[in-house]
Structure 1
Amino acid sequence: MQARDRRDPVRVLVIDDSASIRIAFKKLIAEDPGLELIGTATDPFQAADMMRERLPDVLLLDLQMPRMDGLTFLKKIMSQRPMPVVVISSLTESGSHTSLKALEFGAAEVLAKPSIATPEERREAAIRICDAIHAAYQSGTGAAARGARRNAGRLRALAPGERLTADVILPPAPARSGVAGPPVIAIGASTGGTEAVREVLERLPLGLPPIAVVQHMPEHFTRAFAERLNTLCRISVKEAEDGDILLPGQAVIAHGDRHLVLRPAGKAFRAELRNGPCVARHRPSVDVLFRSVAQGAGPSALGVLLTGMGDDGAAGLAEMHAAGAWTIAQDEVSCVVYGMPRAAVELGAASESLPLDRIASEIVSRVGQGDARVAS
């Protein structure tokens, strides 16, 4: 078999029983010259026949299908022939919990079935889907995927449209270096981040300042993610709601379709959920959260940027660093995709780079109080 060159287009196979969804994905994928759609299948049995003839680099997999559901097929794929899989799920409570199972079983990304009724929705869907496919490929194995990971921080030209910064949601303000606000911990993550965030939060003790997390996930899925974390962690975890006062010993997860901004409210922070365009190709954006923390907390904050493709969070972490906050980037070896942390390191935004299994203990050593100790 001829070796794959990392410059070759990423081969994609779409598995979905909806003809309209297959057509939509075909059109969206065609907009990215770095992707090649090698086929579409109506169910896992047809997909298995097609894969005997030609293996894809990435599967785009629906979860609800006739004859065999996508979760069962995913388990079979991961046990017999592991490969990068992007899961497409409906925006329902049951769909959200099943999608989290898919991530546990090895899916690289979870996306909601897109709405493409307007040009803006279509543009955002193209960016979201194509980025997810590239990120999944970079999370895979083999020489081509390793080469792709080395370039994970580079942004590709996808659908037309301006790439926006945090300025469109939260205007810049002078750095607060030396001006301390309420203490807070801010964490950002994308591809591979659901398990990375879980590992960090699961090891944190009570007695820490409030924690705010942006994990790139679809709307509704973040609530299921927060509920799952709340059953695993000693700290309490919830999806952020507009007006929430952040409490010590608590983590809030950004809503899957709203930017999360923290504003000082006396000796605490209040969460604000803001609509608006994607920032750094995402909504919620890590850059938006980090900028608000830099402005509101200054040196009282601690920032952590975990695994993910692209550079969302790098500029925001640099703003936190300039404001006097201690900043941590996950190191390359422990990242699923070393894109966002690498971009931060290249900007000089990280006070230090650490492997994932050391980040919780570093957080505690920097901001822990009293008997706070990480879980073993």
Structure 2
Amino acid sequence: MSVKVLVVDDSSFFRRRVSEILNAEPSLEVIGAAKDGQEAIDMVIQLKPDVVTMDVEMPVLDGISAVREIMRQSPTPILMFSSLTHEGAKATLDALDAGALDFIPKNFEDIARNREEAISLLQQRVKAIARHRFLMRRPSSSASSPFSSRISTAPSTHTHRTESTVHRPPSREPVVAERSITPVVVKRSGKAYRIVAIGTSTGGPVALQKILTALPENFPHPILLVQHMPSTFTAAFAARLNSLCQISVKEAADGDVLKPGCAYLAPGGKQMLVDSHGGGRIKIVESDDPKINYKPCVDITFASVAKAYHDKVLAIVLTGMGADGRDGARMLSAQGATIWAQDEQSCVVYGMPQAIAKAGLAKIQLPIERFAQAIVTEAGNG
């Protein structure tokens, strides 16, 4: 059975282009095209597509508002098309907050080496998020999105953090999804840690927000974050997290000294390492190695952390396509580090965590809702 797709964009040329690319894949079928957000809402209700591709800026009703309303009335996996600008990044993150699952640059050749790779990338992204349609929540009056923050957290004491866009803070009352969450009790092992490292891709922005907003301000270790994301997005994403979290969050810069209670997001288009001879300093490097598919790359950061911190690492692999992080996790595991992975049911795409699990590297697999408390229990006591 083919995946049914609704294409939404105010440009007739772009609608035709995306439709041709998706229809060229036998397992995908474009069943409709909408020219604005309101038309998209009406067609989602009428046609019940498996996936929607959505532009941000459109007449009548913009893409972010359309995502929010679709999630309220008929939750459907949505892939956003985004411009690679700072404003485009902020709008895309707003769309993810509203309930979109993933995003791709509108000029998606920008993140591919050739036209064929770009076409394949778009097709793969649509197929990947389509698998999540069976886990979408039913509409409810208590939340506008199945991916709204559901972790209860204390209000932030950071008064200096501001951002031009007003963001809805994490919910103070946990929202229980219809899917069941198997209770997982994590008891502190007594192991000493010096750093936490987290790698993720598709679905990662929402997953990271859920975890980081629930960590206490006095969390005793630095945290390294590797999210597959374009260079124009990482600064905006770090700023957003910083405005929401009790811990500090920043886009990592070359020479940064790792500090407890601070998370460092790898900049897009570059690689983040830890200088094992520099007293816990971050190194940001350029890489043109054609064998490396991701910039930033989880494997590269994990390998660096293994060399610098040996067994005193809690490494976590969250939702994402592919297997980035598996080789780095092997190096960490060989040093005696602890490896956790997200469970299949709570992943947007169970690719990277599955690679960890199949390799026998994951000590435990957790639903995304359980990670924050588990991290505090295992590594939060200094």
TMscore range, shorter length: 0.7 to 0.9
Shift of 1:356: 2.7
Q: State the partner residue of 1:163.
A: none
Residue equivalent to 2:372: 360
Is the CA contact (8 Å cut-off) linking 1:115 and 1:122 kept in structure 2?
A: no
SS in 1 for 2:212: helix
Of 184, 189, 208, 1:197 maps to 208
Greater displacement, 185-194 / 33-42: 33-42
Match of 1:185 among 182, 185, 196: 196
Q: Does 1:213 align with 2:225?
A: yes
- 1:106 equivalent in structure 2: 99
Q: TM-score, normalised by structure 1?
A: 0.76
Write the deviation string for residues 13-66 of structure 1: whole angstroms up to 9, x where unpaired: 221123443344245435544322334333235545655664321111001012
Stretches of structure 1 lacking an aligned partner (at least 5 in a row): 1-7, 144-181, 371-376
What is aligned with 1:347? 359
Change in Cα spacing, 1:101 to 1:261, as seen in structure 2 (3 Å) is same
What corresponds to 1:300 in structure 2?
Answer: 312
Aligned to 2:370, the other structure's residue is in SS state: helix
Return the TM-score normalized by structure 2: 0.75
In the superposition, relative to structure 1, how do residues 214 and 32 fare at CA in structure 2: closer, same or farther (>3 Å)? farther
Distance in 1 between the 2:251 and 2:111 partners? 28
Give 5+ residue unaligned stretches, structure 2. 137-192
Offset at residue 104 of structure 1 (A): 1.4
User: Is the CA contact (8 Å cut-off) linking 2:3 and 2:51 kept in structure 1?
Assistant: yes
User: Structure 1, residues 271-321: CA drift from partner, whole Å, max 9, x if none?
Assistant: 324343677754322222222222332212220011223322223222211
What is the aligned residue count? 325
Aligned ranges for residues 259-274 of structure 1 at < 5 Å?
259-274=271-286
Among 253, 259, 263, which residue is 1:251 paired with? 263
Secondary structure of 2:126's aligned partner: helix
CA distance in 2: counterparts of 1:358 and 1:77, whole angstroms: 27
Specify which of 325, 328, 331 is matched with residue 340 of structure 2: 328
Distance in 1, matches of 2:20 and 2:277, equals 47
Residue among 13, 17, 31 paired with 2:10? 17
CA distance in structure 2 between the aligned counterparts of 1:363 and 1:52, rounded to whole angstroms: 40
- Name whichever of 186-195 and 102-111 sits farther off: 186-195
How is 1:72-83 mapped onto 2 (pairs within 5 angstroms)? 72-83=65-76
On the 8 A contact 2:272/2:282 being kept in 1, the answer is no
Q: CA deviation at 1:139?
A: 2.0
Cα RMSD of the aligned pairs, angstroms, is: 2.8
Partner Cα distance (2:135, 2:214) in 1: 32
Alpha-carbon contact 1:88-1:111 (below 8 Å) kept: yes
Distance 2:214 2:121 in 1: 31
In the aligned structure 2, how far is the partner of 1:134 from the partner of 1:295? 37
Secondary structure in 1 aligned to 2:225? strand
1:51/1:350 Cα in 2 relative to 1: closer, same or farther (>3 Å)?
closer
